[in-house]
Amino acid sequence: MSGHSTYEPKTGLERWLDSRLPIIRFANDTIVSFPTPKNLNYWWTFGGVLSLMLGLQIVTGIILAMHYVPHVDYAFNSIQRIKRDVNYGWLVQSLHANGASMFFLAVYIHIFRNLYYGSYKAPREVLWILGCVIYLLMMATAFFGYVLPWGQMSFHGAVVITNLIGALPIVGPSITTWLWGGFAVDDPTLNRFFSLHYLLPFMIAGVVALHVWALHVPGNNNPTGVNVKSKEDTVPFHPYYTVKDGFAISVFLIMYAVFVFYLPDALGDAANYIQANPLQTPQHIVPEWYLLPFYAILRAVPNKLMGVILMFGAIATLFVLPWLDTSKVRSMRYRPTMRLYYFIFVFACLVLGWCGAHAPDDLVIPNVAGPQFLDANLNSFVWLSRIGALFYFAYFWVITPLMGLTETPLPEPESISTPVLSHPASAPAGAAASPEKRG
Amino acid sequence: MLRKGFAFAALGLALMAGPALAATTNEEPADVHWSFEGPFGKFDKEQLQRGYKVYREVCSACHSMNLMYFRNLGQKGGPFYDPKYPNPNNNPVVKSLAHDIQVKDIDSDTGDVISRPATPADKFPAPFANEPAARASNGGALPPDLSVMAKAREGGPAYIYSLLSGFKQAPAGLTLQAGKYYDPYFAGDLTGSWHGVAGKVPEGGAISMPPPLADGKVTFDDGKPSTVKEEAYDVSAFLAWAAEPKMEERKAFGLGAMIYLLIFSVLLYFSYKKIWKNVAH
């Protein structure tokens, strides 16, 4: 798919520019004529959603930075001032705070779609790794951003997470002090977190550019996982996918707007409306919902260092996934057994998130005193987190490599067009979707 | 601080065998109905006016509202908003309410600290000069700032209402320290003060605030009978407004945004159907 270019400069100015900086050609090849498999379902629209969210977060963030004061004495009140006295500040702040959640919601759907349809496999490994880098940068950005309002959760969350580095042997405490810029989370920490929170989104934008570049060399994967064989299999990106993505983005924005306008605090924690007080630790320190599964993995392990290693390992695992998967079949449509494990995996991630929101010693089933097993109650969130974490790692390191070697996949279609054309429901009207289409 | 941080991390991260950390308990806030609930809900201006009076005459003796300015009272959506005065600084009611309160200032000629009547541009003055002064006057406890209190507690205004109207005589078996009061809605752990049947520790906590409201404590200008419940209800609504004075603007804007997005989505859907009409997929 690379190397195609249907762009023909029409005016003298375009020809002049095209032989010097072919930027219009680039734009044309990327978002206009780019041949895209015609069978992409709605799960594929989240790439567009994510680009929009990144843009929105950057724009709203730049406006907020004009009014925000990164100082321990003023940060909390400056956010309130934005919401009370800045024209439409309540809107910009709500868009930004809820935007972070929407951004993560979209990225999780994007990642799970990728896992289901095997998009990370050859020749898209670099594309996948760049995506993992973006995800990692997003987590760092979100963490720094959550500290900025300087509420109780901001502060104590920052204490917990920066203390994790202290678990590293020998160098840990020194690195922590260096990160803090002092001997505790304090004004220097807030200042550097603000600086980094402003920097990282532009790094994300840079990696997104590489991500899109890496997408445009092999082109999109598709729900069948079968390579594009001919021109029949594709449609130009514009207008076909601009309109389809546009529709999906608009629906996504409706959900986003429900939070921004009607539930602005639903995804946040009430404790973050209390100004940070280092001397008063909240009873339960919980991260934002999108980091809960990793928090559960961290707390599933009795040893702090091991917990940290496993938590980062959970993300590091994603980077090597293309080489853990031994199956040549991309789409889980043709891997019925693996598909089952996949859905258990999705469930395990949700369970881990649920565990992360609870104190480790809380009972999973209330009022049932489960038996003590090793160091904790079997009916506590500790053990549920351990089971979830075990499945998380087993899915990537055991199930994925073994299934590829042992399973018998269903026959794949010859090309993208074959299942479509041979399908009785797919009249030329194109209104009926194929039944297995997951949209 | 450093040690505290590490100690916390150790607590949070290490799995503890044996007894769990003592957990606080409290009764669920009462199910109260508010005029500002739901996507179209608005503040009841009369209620906010009564609520302001409760705050001014009762709460403000101990609690600051550092994020509030007198002008806020007359801004759009506020308790004393008057369309005749789009600039709340000109609103005579707000001016007079501010004028009733003395604020500290610096005499610009002499540099002396003086007291003068407030103007709409002034902040609500804090009752205490600083935290130690506040603690000294309140048996060591710090009365929290109320500006965003309605958002800073689970349950919001319903929690505040329940807390204020929910004070109870400490049940038999509960021995509280002097200067502590029993409130089942206040999150706390009363295990240490409980001498009754083991395992039947009452829900709730010991709060340092004495029951602040009483029947007839405030005389409402609109003649509404001032029961404890009514006072608690109105001041909770006032605090809900103070925590988010732009709530009505948010909901009104949201309605427009939702209508716009719905129409836009429908148009895009039919464009999508039209463009893809001849593509089998």
Out of B1, B21, B271, closest to residue A278 by CB: B1
> Exposed/middle/buried for A24, CB within 10 Å: 0-12, 13-18, 19+?
middle
- Pairing type for strands A372-373 and A376-377 reads antiparallel
| Mutation site, B4, B6, B8, B15, interface A, largest A CB count within 10 A | B15
Per-residue pLDDT of chain B (281 residues; tens, 9 = 90+): 344 444 444 433 333 333 334 568 888 999 999 999 999 999 999 999 999 999 999 999 999 999 999 999 999 999 999 999 999 999 999 999 999 999 999 999 999 999 999 999 999 999 999 999 999 999 999 999 999 999 999 999 999 999 999 999 988 889 988 899 999 999 888 988 898 888 888 899 999 999 999 999 999 999 999 999 999 999 999 999 999 999 999 999 999 999 999 999 999 999 999 999 988 76
Contact across the interface for A184 and B24, Cβ inside 8 Å: no
For residue B38, the Cα-to-chain-centroid distance in whole angstroms is 18
Instruction: Tell whether B37 is within 8 A of chain A (Cβ).
Output: no
SS3 string, chain B, reads CHHHHHHHHHHHHCCCCCCCCCCCECCCCCCCCCCCCCCCCCCCHHHHHHHHHHHHHCHHHCCCCCCCEHHHHHCCCCCCCCCCCCCHHHCHHHHHHHHCCEEEEECCCCCCEEEEECCCCCECCCCCCCHHHHHHHCCCCCCCCCCCHHHHCCCHHHHHHHHHHCCCCCCCCECCCCCCEEECCCCECCHHHECCCCCCCCCCEEECCCCCCCCCCCCCCCCCCCCHHHHHHHHHHHHHHHHCCCHHHHHHHHHHHHHHHHHHHHHHHHHHHHHCCCCCC
Cα of B219 to nearest chain A Cα, Å: 30
Interchain CB contact of A367 with B (< 8 Å): no
Partners of residue A376 in chain B, C-beta under 8 Å: 15, 17
CB proximity B22 to A under 8 Å: no
* Chain A residues lying within 8 Å of B255, measured CB to CB: 261
Q: Is A163 on the interface with B (CB under 8 A)?
A: yes
Mutate to test the interface with A, among B25, B251, B281 (most CBs of A within 10 A): B281
User: Chain A contact for B66, CB < 8 A?
Assistant: yes
Establish if B26 touches chain A: CB-CB under 8 angstroms. Answer: no
CB A257 within 8 A of CB B261: yes
Check residue A302 and give left, alpha or beta (phi > 0: left; psi -120 to 50: alpha). alpha
CA atoms of B274 and B281, how far apart (whole Å): 14
**Cβ of B9 under 8 Å from any chain A Cβ?**
yes
| 3-state secondary structure string across A344-357 | HHHHHHHHHHHHHC
Q: What is the pLDDT along chain A (439 residues), one digit of tens a residue?
A: 445 688 889 899 999 999 999 999 999 988 899 999 999 999 999 999 999 999 999 999 999 999 999 999 999 999 999 999 999 999 999 999 999 999 999 999 999 999 999 999 999 999 999 999 999 999 999 999 999 999 999 999 999 999 998 988 999 999 999 999 999 999 999 999 999 999 999 999 999 999 999 999 999 999 999 999 998 899 999 999 999 999 999 999 999 999 999 999 999 999 999 999 999 999 889 999 999 999 999 999 989 999 999 999 999 999 999 999 999 999 999 999 999 999 999 999 999 999 999 988 888 988 888 888 888 888 999 999 999 999 999 999 999 999 999 999 999 998 988 765 555 444 444 344 444 444 3
Contacts of A80 in chain B (CB under 8 A): 67, 147-148
Q: Any CB–CB contact under 8 A between B49 and chain A?
A: no
Q: Do B9 and A159 touch (CB under 8 A)?
A: yes
Q: What is the CA radius of gyration of chain A?
A: 24
- With CA atoms as reference, the chain A residue closest to B156 would be A270
End-to-end alpha carbon distance in chain B: 62
Is there a contact between B9 and A166 if contact means CB atoms under 8 Å apart?
Answer: yes
A427 contacts in chain B (CB < 8 Å): 280
CB contact under 8 A, B281 and A39: yes
Interface touch A183/B1, C-beta < 8 Å: yes
Q: What is the pLDDT of residue B11?
A: 38
Would the CB atoms of A247 and B17 count as touching at under 8 Å? no
pLDDT of residue A420: 54
With beta carbons under 8 A apart, name residues in chain A contacting B39: 261-262
- Tell me how far CA of residue A124 lies from CA of A121, A137, A215, A397, B240, in angstroms: 6, 20, 7, 20, 52
B280:A420 CB<8 A: yes
Q: Is B123 on the interface with A (CB under 8 A)?
A: no
A420 touches chain B (CB under 8 A): yes
Separation CA A209–CA A201 (nearest Å):
12
Judge: A265–B14 Cβ closer than 8 Å, yes or no.
no
B250 shares contact with chain A (CB less than 8 Å): yes
Q: Do residues B205 and B167 touch, judged by C-beta distance below 8 A? A: no
pLDDT score at A429: 41
Chain A's closest residue to B155, CA to CA, is A270
Nearest to B13 among A183, A257, A307 (CB): A307
Closest-approach residue (CA) in chain B for A78: B67
Q: Chain B contact for A235, CB < 8 A?
A: yes
pLDDT on residue A63: 98
Angle at which helix A46-67 crosses helix A75-84, to 10 degrees, equals: 110
Q: What is the ipTM of this complex?
A: 0.89
Contacts of A84 in chain B (CB under 8 A): 67, 72, 245-246
Q: Which of residues 375-394 of A touch B (CB under 8 A)?
A: 375-376, 382
pLDDT at A421: 54
Best of B1, B6, B13 to mutate (most A CBs within 10 Å, chain A): B13
